[in-house]
Structure 1
């Protein structure tokens, strides 16, 4: 949607024949980056002195530029006496305007962040070992203190102190490590000694099977396994229709509301840093103030469109072994963990907070539900169960507690039934339901 009071905007650019195509594309990219975010429909047309159909470098650069900005060239017949296409009419591609705007925004953000905050690989050492206690930490601080003093003074006394502190640190390190290994082996039963020894030697740290030839083959194998597992589980669950005994809701949620820049910045800082490896986020957090206005326009445009962007449905799936002691060659011992796009989680949080507020205000949460409820947790759930069991015992009854653990619970949800419950029981209708359905 265009800004209030502004229905359309025109921009005239002229490219001199023979001029540098790269300079021209950089020039028009400056205003295109703003236009494609603020306007749902964008059209680029005219004679820009680039012949299509020749295979020239200028043609490849132009078509690449159109693709980067989610524009589609609609003239596909010759318009020049030489048999080439000279007239250009490019517009928002067959993707929705929201999808095009998100694609352009992600491209621009990545390009800008690579210049301002480039990616750098940094290696660090973790001391996540059970024998690295407070005594070792203190001795290491003493060693570093002596080292700094030696680097500053370069005296023989400081060198002697640094040498003695270093020797004492590594002596204590070997003692602590030896005590830990001895206590671990001695306290383990005979049947588990081999596994304990393998763990101490680091042999169980292998988290992926090695029986596959390449990384691509392994990824396809995991993908096929997880899909087959979920499909088999879903097929084993009997289908059920929407229950007819639900009463009509007294309240309705017809659409999600747009948000302010203050709310957006709060959500950006609230979202975790985990994201897809190839995504420019979460470096976005560092420079969020500079991109806030464009991102706010995008999110509010998405909320008004009632459709979740396709480009934000990308995830990076990592198979994690459930326990270090399990066989890494058995795919059943892995669980898939998906890292979503950073901005996908921001948009999801915008919708989630509004939906949660609606459910809380209208008391739609179950009376005994502890999951995803404010001020509730597994601790409060166990407290309630324990209290009920003790109450029944004091009353002379014999209570029976049944615990149910569902395998791949979220993957086996019937989406059609869930949407029906949202609509008929919880009153989520119209654009709000369309957004959740997408």
Structure 2
């Protein structure tokens, strides 16, 4: 391994865990390739080692904040999660030139000694490698053994018992209770609960075939050791090879089955990867301690009660009632065939309170379907939700990865609901969404949990408006509101009023929602220990199907306040973004922004929602440096001001260069690449590629349409990740050219991937789909006289002034890219055909010599 811009020496400490040490010398002369070369070096090293130590004479003045090379170097370190430890001068003239940089391990007791050699100071430090984390023994659990034979016996027994099962169908609560009792009785007969004690973890891919090969291998080994004959030795070697081949084949088949089944479910893939790598989330919480479950229970209850006590009845709702909307007075029942399709599509997730596990519902649906239909249709027609379907088991979940697991405030309550409850909610959800769409009752700028909408489409619209304002020479202020426990403080009476007066829910349909919200209960479960049960007086359950949609309805009046003050806004569930150009001529000033924020606070308080002042963030984007001092004083908004904010998972900086966000993407991508390297030998190439897409490429593609228009030096850092993933998949050597590899994989480079995403949004516009707030930004090209281009599906391209601002706006960039496409691509008859033609076209542009 050699580079033109610096010299290096590498050696590995063969200890457990392995440590790679890299000694570097960079000549003082500036070399424009240094950052690219060092980036390639780091990407190659951290892909193979969990712990790396870089040190040497870098000849970079990192102590000078205005040094361009130092800025780029620190940005690169941040991208790969590297830590630089030297803070005192290492050169006789007072600069820091000699560095100690580590990856994955801390450096302690670092001391800079007086210069010994001509002008550089020696550096002494201690490095401690972490010890392997012991795997905690799992507690004993109770389970039912359900295999194909047991399910068949259950169906036979249940069919006989259902012939004499005749409770009153008009009382759906009574019917549901008796049906659960019957199912439990039958299960106790065919699959009684068993206590499973903790055992050493066995490889899940071992089968009878592999065990037989292992027995044969050990038998031949004993025979060889006993007689010492050459023929016995050859027999042992042959049986050992056969055993290794059997294990390899069984292991690959095991992972192939998991990947094929869960190719669209990264959560299951990540869980499987963790189980193979013996990875365990560090936790100081004992999952079997009853006190912990009660502590979480008390914390969640007290938190919501405290918020409600502070803001209760402080103001009056300032928003007028919405004009009378179309009415939905009853909920339609579902047929057996519709219910069958719904059960088949529903994810097999349920609750610890489920009498029947979800996979048994799916396998035995022909037997259980009529009774399930009786419960669901009885609930829809009577407007009563059975009490058993309103009991939630709370699973405390960390709010952010890497948060301190010992701090109870770092957890949010996620409700796990019974499988039948989710089916009932799904039926109601579909009818409610249909009513909102047909009646045009959705908030236009609410993107949360709506078909055809996404965080990416929301950010495209927000940044489009910001880019256009900056292009006109106007600064833009963006405020991101954070609500504390937003879902948990929703007032049921106010929500029912919203449903009735803003959405038009009446009659038995309103009775159903009233029954759904009232008399709900919950408990907290840690391990096998349940806390005490508590009534849920407020809130909509997180983890439910209806919860996010009901919360969006709860926020419907909020848009009226923003429009009243003439501010732009966008919502994604409980994430609220307010932005406006700071233009005195148009009446857009900081004071008008403050007035709007104050009215929003008042509305939130009157609706029992609490604004988290500590997590609310504000950023000001300037068209140039001359505007910075003009809006240096933000008045009451100053405490919220930050140089980098996070909006819907994307980090935005004041220059809209996305450096912080790209650094985060690179860190997480290489984290998963390192983990996948440890199981690469267990996967076939096809399945390894699927896993790479799930863990790495998906991160490169998240909101990648926002990268369009970025400078090539910024995009190259993301390209390094994709190149590393391609080399990892194909086994390509470091110095081999990457373009043929990417072309053979049909992987578009980063810059073309962003164009692909934007052009798909445009195609949705021509097909009448996609978010309306993006469709309003596009206009068909209308020539002043009849031309042959009139029927070519072209778009009008607005004029812009600045390449780094206006040209990056969706309303400018999307038409420009669209009009450059060949007519055969633009006029594709369907979305799959369009994607196929578009990818082929972009591949030819990216790799003209290889496609």
Residue in structure 2 matched with residue 362 of structure 1 by the alignment: 439
Q: Would you say 1:227 and 2:304 are equivalent positions? A: no
Aligned equivalents of 2:333 and 2:188: distance in 1? Answer: 30
- Paired residue secondary structure (1:316): strand
Normalized against structure 1, the TM-score is what? 0.61
User: Does structure 1 conserve the Cα–Cα contact (< 8 Å) formed by 2:169 and 2:378?
Assistant: no
Distance of 2:337 and 2:279 partners within structure 1 = 48
> Are the equivalent residues in 2 in contact too, given 1:207–1:320 (CA < 8 A)?
no
Q: Are the counterparts in 1 of residues 282 and 405 from structure 2 also a CA contact under 8 Å?
A: no
Partner of 1:405: 482
Following superposition, the deviation at residue 327 of structure 1 comes to: 3.5
Q: 1:271 aligns with which of 330, 346, 351?
A: 346
- Residue 358 of structure 1 aligns to a residue whose secondary structure is helix
The residue matched to 1:401 in structure 2 has which SS?
strand
Verify: 1:248 aligned to 2:378, yes or no: no
Q: Secondary structure at 1:436's aligned position in 2?
A: helix
Q: Which residue pairs with 2:451 in the alignment?
A: 374
Instruction: Map Cα deviations across residues 1-58 of structure 1 (whole Å, 9 max, x no partner).
Output: xxxxxxxxxxxxxxxxxxxxxxxxx9xx94785311x633xxxxxxxxxxxxxxxxxx
Quote how far apart the aligned CAs of 1:407 are. 2.2
Determine if contact 2:399/2:410 at 8 Å carries over to the other structure: yes
CA distance in 2, matches of 1:335, 1:162: 53
1:416 Cα deviation (Å)?
1.6
Task: Give the structure with the larger strand fraction.
Answer: 2
Shift of 1:113: 4.2
Q: Cα deviation per residue 1:337-373 (whole Å; 9 max; x = unaligned)?
A: 2211111111111111111111111111111111021
2:331–2:508 contact (8 Å) kept in structure 1: yes
Question: Is the partner of 2:468 in helix, strand or coil?
Answer: helix
Q: Which runs of 5+ in 2 are unaligned?
A: 1-156, 221-231, 248-276, 516-851
Query: Deviations 1:208-247 (Å, cap 9, x if unpaired)?
Result: 258xxx7332222211111001111223335454556233
Q: Say whether the 8 Å CA contact 2:327–2:504 is kept in structure 1.
A: yes
Indicate the residue corresponding to 2:384 in structure 1: 307
Q: 2:311 aligns with which of 237, 242, 262?
A: 237
Change (3 A) 1:429 1:322: same
Aligned to 2:142: none
Specify the alignment match of 1:321 in structure 2: 398
Corresponding residue number in structure 2 for 1:39: 169
Aligned to 1:218: 292
Q: Deviations over 1:41-85 (max 9, x none)?
A: xxxxxxxxxxxxxxxxxxxxxxxxxxxxxxxxxxxxxxxxxxxxx
Q: Distance in 2 between matches of 1:431 and 1:291?
A: 27
Higher mean C-alpha displacement, 388-397 vs 303-312: 388-397
Contact 2:394/2:413, CA 8 A, preserved across alignment: yes
* Aligned partners of 1:149 and 1:158 also within 8 Å: no
Q: Relative to 1, partners in 2 of residues 1:326 and 1:263: Cα closer, same or farther, differing over 3 Å? A: same
Q: Secondary structure at the match of 1:34?
A: coil
Equivalent pair of 1:33/1:105 in contact (CA under 8 Å) = no
Measured after TM superposition, the shift of residue 421 of structure 1 is 1.2
Q: Is the 8 A contact 1:146 1:162 kept in 2?
A: no
Decide which of 271, 277, 281 is 2:357's aligned counterpart. Answer: 281
Cα distance in structure 1, aligned partners of 2:212 and 2:185: 45
Distance 1:167 1:99 in 2: 57
CA distance in 2, matches of 1:345, 1:109: 19
Shift of 1:324: 6.0
Instruction: Select which of 346, 353, 358 maps to 2:430.
Output: 353
Contact 2:283/2:406 (<8 A) preserved: no
Distance 1:126 1:246, change over 3 A: farther
Distance 1:271 1:207, change over 3 A: farther
1:64 is matched with none
Residue 188 of structure 1 is matched in structure 2 by none
**1:121-200 map, 5 Å:** 147=213, 157=234, 159-161=236-238, 163=240
Q: Residue deviations 1:348-402, cap 9 Å, x none? A: 1111111111111111111111102111111211121121211222233222111
RMSD: 4.0
Aligned residues: 309
Q: CA deviation at 1:423?
A: 0.7
Shift of 1:413: 1.5
Q: Is the 8 A contact 1:314 1:340 kept in 2?
A: yes
1:258 to 333, 350, 374: 333
Structure 1 match to 2:186: 112
Aligned match for 1:343, one of 420, 439, 444: 420
TM-score by structure 2 length? 0.33
- Structure 2 CA distance for partners of 1:269 and 1:119, relative to 1, 3 Å: farther
Quick one: structure 1 residues 203 and 273, their matched pair in 2 at CA, closer, same or farther if it must change by over 3 Å? closer
Map Cα deviations across residues 319-342 of structure 1 (whole Å, 9 max, x no partner): 233456443332112222221111
Aligned to 1:352, the other structure's residue is in SS state helix
For residues 124 and 262 of structure 1, do their structure 2 counterparts lie closer, same or farther at Cα, with a shift above 3 Å needed? farther
Deviation at 1:126, TM superposition (A): 9.7
2:415 alignment partner, SS class? strand
Give the direction of change, closer, same or farther, for the CA distance of 1:324–1:208 in structure 2 (3 Å limit). farther
Cα distance in 2 between the residues matched to 1:115 and 1:156: 53
2:394–2:414 CA contact under 8 A, matched in 1:
yes
In structure 1, distance between residues paired with 2:421 and 2:458 = 31
Separation (CA, whole Å) in 2 of partners of 1:232 and 1:126: 47
1:292 equivalent in alignment to 2:369: yes
CA shift for structure 1 position 249: 2.6
Structure with bigger RCO (C-alpha 8 Å, 6+ apart): 1
* Deviation of the 1:150 alpha carbon: 6.3
Name the CA distance, whole Å, in 1 between partners of 2:281 and 2:371: 47
**What is the CA–CA distance in structure 2 between the aligned matches of 1:218 and 1:33, rounded to whole Å?**
45
Whether the 8 Å CA contact 2:404–2:410 is kept in 1: the answer is yes
Tell me how far 1:156 sits from its aligned partner.
Answer: 6.1
